[in-house]
């Protein structure tokens, strides 16, 4: 039979799901999805779910987007894949040129990989290798902020700081310096800059103390996504760029989750008016269709690897599917839609609607914070509103919200005690209102109030 139960059983016999305790599925059903259209996913029994998190933050222009579909289909008839070492193709050239025009000025060289974690590995290795080629091998350490997340491979885990992901593998990780994050949790928006300034003192002190051994600083601009959607103001990035320059340390911006309009500008770092030495991009770059990532960097860094073969200065990093033509075609279609339809400008009204719908949740007795940046909003449940004491993670309050939302036809997947929305940009005002109602109900179910 072609029903949910059959697919669930077949799944549990053969699959091991990511970021999942598989024993949960003894009582928590796997949800088999048959199709998607716009913001909606549909299972094998015809029930629909609003994809409130863009299927792990990737699907910005809706499922089964006709323009992206057609671009991929056209490319499929021409070239599906070719090695990118010593060979090239039209989509990857056009995409690289396009990204060079869109990104902060000076990031004119694109190095491709196939997922976000891989992009982080590229940037870390490239930064270390740059200093090695410059005769500064002692500059080999990295500096970051607490509560960050940059992926699941070992280098990416090393510069992350979300305990549930990193603690088990601690003995395998790089020795990374970490300073307090600048997030404004529990504070009114007008106090975020003051809080960030206080936190930046720790960053400045670490740069002063360790600058001679540091290759780079790495941060997620504006939003620490997997760290609970904690947010901070763009001024921190401005101070960080100036301090890195002063201490001769490179700067890596991980915009894997926040690039391509999610924060209200094409790239989050635009709001600070600064350019990193390495800009890491993935997720939404293909509209959620195919795996692709890119590290963009400068002429100066590119030149540090450009030499005769015998010097062994080349960056010998590779992935089999680097610059895949189908993925590049999807990315080009995504950029076409973002630009032709002025999507980021249109999102401003939707962001305002999200704020209007979620702002009343601040009054809930077990909501410690409601924060928003662009098309991302987070509602953090707490045990005590006055002290901001969190619920014990073992109570799994977020799971209760998830289960209620699914029963109502919305796919909310909280991060611990943090309910968040990161919807496709094609969401309508009516669908935003629906999410608001489901979220309010979920809070009532999870907190008993």
Q: What is the pLDDT of residues 239-279, one digit of tens each?
A: 999 999 999 999 999 999 999 999 999 999 999 999 999 99
Same domain flag for 47 and 97: no
Same domain flag for 52 and 132: no
Residue 19, in any domain of the structure = no
Report the alpha-carbon angle 81-83-87, nearest 5.
110
Residue 247, in any domain of the structure = yes
Point out the least confidently predicted range of 2-16, 225-239, 348-362: 2-16
CA dist 23 and 272 (Å) reads 44
CA distances in angstroms from 244 to 129, 204, 276, 277, 391, listed in the order given: 18, 9, 10, 10, 38
Task: Confirm whether residue 116 is marked as ligand binding.
Answer: yes
Residue 16, in any domain of the structure = no
Number of domains in the chain: 2
Same domain flag for 137 and 224: yes
Residue 17, in any domain of the structure = no
Range of the structural domain that residue 57 is part of? 31-64+343-447
Residue 198, in any domain of the structure = yes
H, E, C per residue of the chain: CCCHHHHHHHHHHHCCCCCCCHHHHHCCCCCCEEEEEECEEEECCCCEEEECCHHHHCCCCCECCHHHHHHHHHHHCCCCCCCCCCCCCHHHHHHHHHHHHHCCCCCCEEEEECCHHHHHHHHHHHHHHHHHHCCCCCCCEEEEECCCCCCCCHHHHHCCCCHHHHHHHHHHCCCCEEECCCCCCCCCHHHHHHHHHHHHHHHHHHHHHHHHHEEEEEECCCEECCCCCEECCCHHHHHHHHHHHHCCCEEEEECCCCCCCCCCCCCHHHHHCCCCCEEEECHHHHCCCCCCEEEEECHHHHHCCCCCHHHCCCCCCCCCCCCCHHHHHHHHHHHHHHHHCCHHHHHHHHHHHHHHHHHHHHHCCCEEEEEEECCEEEEEECCECCCCECCCHHHCHHHHHHHHHHHHCEECCCECCEEEECCCCCCCHHHHHHHHHHHHHHHHHHHCC
Task: Confirm whether residue 245 is marked as ligand binding.
Answer: no
pLDDT tens string 40-83: 999 999 999 999 999 999 999 999 999 999 999 999 999 999 99
Task: Confirm whether residue 74 is marked as ligand binding.
Answer: no
For residue 1, pLDDT over 80 is answered with: no
Give me the pLDDT at residue 341, please: 97
Same domain flag for 265 and 348: no
Residue 442, in any domain of the structure = yes
pLDDT tens string 23-46: 999 999 999 999 999 999 999 999
pLDDT tens string 312-333: 999 999 999 999 999 999 999 9
CA dist 202 and 23 (Å) reads 41
Task: Confirm whether residue 319 is marked as ligand binding.
Answer: yes
Same domain flag for 76 and 142: yes
Task: Confirm whether residue 89 is marked as ligand binding.
Answer: no
Final residue before a domain boundary, out of 281, 313, 340 = 340
Task: Confirm whether residue 320 is marked as ligand binding.
Answer: yes
Please give the average per-residue pLDDT across 188-194, as a whole number. Answer: 96
Question: Mean pLDDT in the chain?
Answer: 97
Task: Confirm whether residue 127 is marked as ligand binding.
Answer: no
Give me the pLDDT at residue 29, please: 92
CATH of the domain at 208: 3.40.640.10
Same domain flag for 331 and 398: no
Residue 8, in any domain of the structure = no
CATH of the domain at 402: 3.90.1150.10
pLDDT tens string 136-150: 999 999 999 999 999
Residue 126, in any domain of the structure = yes
Task: Confirm whether residue 56 is marked as ligand binding.
Answer: yes
Same domain flag for 247 and 223: yes
H, E, C per residue of 135-165: CCCCCCEEEEECCCCCCCCHHHHHCCCCHHH
Same domain flag for 72 and 207: yes
Please give the average per-residue pLDDT across 149-155, as a whole number. Answer: 97
Final residue before a domain boundary, out of 296, 322, 340 = 340
β-strand pairing of 177-179 with 33-37: unpaired
Final residue before a domain boundary, out of 340, 360, 395 = 340
- pLDDT more than 90, % of the chain: 99
30 φ, ψ (degrees, to nearest 5): -70, 145
> Please, which pLDDT band fits residue 2 given cuts at 50, 70 and 90?
confident
Same domain flag for 56 and 75: no
Same domain flag for 399 and 438: yes
Same domain flag for 104 and 249: yes
Task: Confirm whether residue 254 is marked as ligand binding.
Answer: yes
> Please, which pLDDT band fits residue 449 given cuts at 50, 70 and 90?
confident
Same domain flag for 365 and 333: no
């Amino acid at each position: 039979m072609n029903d949910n139960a059959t697919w669930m059983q077949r799944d549990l016999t053969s699959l091991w799901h990511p970021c999942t305790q598989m024993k949960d599925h003894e009582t928590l059903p796997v949800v088999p999805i048959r199709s998607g259209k716009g913001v909606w996913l549909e299972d094998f029994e015809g029930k629909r779910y609003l994809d409130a998190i863009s299927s792990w933050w990737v699907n910005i222009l809706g499922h089964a987007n006709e323009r992206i579909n057609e671009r991929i289909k056209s490319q499929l008839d021409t070239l599906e894949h070719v090695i990118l070492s010593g060979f090239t193709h039209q989509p990857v050239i056009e995409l690289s040129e396009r990204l060079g025009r869109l990104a902060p000025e000076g990031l004119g060289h694109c190095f491709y990989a196939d997922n976000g974690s891989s992009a982080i590995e590229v940037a870390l290795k490239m930064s270390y290798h740059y200093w090695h080629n410059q005769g500064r091998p002692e500059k080999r350490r990295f500096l970051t902020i607490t509560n960050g997340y940059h992926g699941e491979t070992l280098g990416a885990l090393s510069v992350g700081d979300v305990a549930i992901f990193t603690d088990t593998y601690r003995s395998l990780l790089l020795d990374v310096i970490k300073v307090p994050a600048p997030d404004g949790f529990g504070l009114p928006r007008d106090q975020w800059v003051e809080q960030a300034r206080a936190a930046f003192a720790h960053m400045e002190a670490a740069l002063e103390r360790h600058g001679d051994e540091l290759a780079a600083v790495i941060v997620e601009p504006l939003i620490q996504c997997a760290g609970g959607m904690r947010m901070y103001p763009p001024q921190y990035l401005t101070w960080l760029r100036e301090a890195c320059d002063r201490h001769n340390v490179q700067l890596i911006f991980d915009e894997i989750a926040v690039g391509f309009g999610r924060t209200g500008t094409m790239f989050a770092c635009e709001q600070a008016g600064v350019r990193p030495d390495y800009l890491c991009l993935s997720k939404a770059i293909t509209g959620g269709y195919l795996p692709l990532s890119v590290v963009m960097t400068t002429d100066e860094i590119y030149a540090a690897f450009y030499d005769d073969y015998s010097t062994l200065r080349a960056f010998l990093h590779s992935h089999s599917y680097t610059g895949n033509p189908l993925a590049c075609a999807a990315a080009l279609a995504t950029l076409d839609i973002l630009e032709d339809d002025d999507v980021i400008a249109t999102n401003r009204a939707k962001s305002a609607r999200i704020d209007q719908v979620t702002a009343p949740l601040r009054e809930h007795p077990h909501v410690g914070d409601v924060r928003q940046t662009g098309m991302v909003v987070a509602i953090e449940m707490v045990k005590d509103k006055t002290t901001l004491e969190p619920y014990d993670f073992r109570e799994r309050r977020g799971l209760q919200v998830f289960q209620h939302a699914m029963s109502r036809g919305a796919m909310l997947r909280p991060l611990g005690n943090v309910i968040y929305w990161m919807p496709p940009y094609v969401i309508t005002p009516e669908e935003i209102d629906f999410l608001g109602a489901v979220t309010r109900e979920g809070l009532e179910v999870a907190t008993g109030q």
